[in-house]
Structure 1
Amino acid sequence: MPGGSLYNYLHKSKRALKLSELLNFAIDVSKGMEYLHHNDIIHRDLKSANLLMDSLQVCANYLS
């Protein structure tokens, strides 16, 4: 994913994130987890390093 991990994004930004950014990340993660749940997949290592972002800063769950 061209945007890297959410972990790297958060540590490189060096600024306080806006509430709207935080909510968008939370919604993206929730949608990904819902998709996995509906497909009977358990993600046992949910953390910011396993959340990859596309070029538009949309998070996607990465199954490690």
Structure 2
Amino acid sequence: MYLMVIMLYILAAVVCGLLGRHTSFGFLGHFILAIFITPVGDFLVQLVARPSKEIRRRIQDIDEN
């Protein structure tokens, strides 16, 4: 029972890492954050997280055209 809960928690942290891979924290940052403050807390951080430099550059290129 406890093993299943831990596995689901880690899976949720991996999903948070994957969702946050294009932010300034990246996959590893969001994965570790989800482990320490819960995946729900990390998801809230992702809502206000800044996009990565590459994504910001693409947005700027689109705006200039």
Same fold (TM over 0.5): no
TM-score bucket (shorter structure): 0.3 to 0.5
Q: So what's the TM-score if we normalise by structure 2?
A: 0.44
Richer in helix (by share): 2
Q: Which has the larger radius of gyration?
A: 2
* Higher RCO (C-alpha under 8 Å, 6+ residues apart): 1
TM-score, normalized by length of structure 1?
Answer: 0.45
Question: Which has a greater percent of strand?
Answer: 1
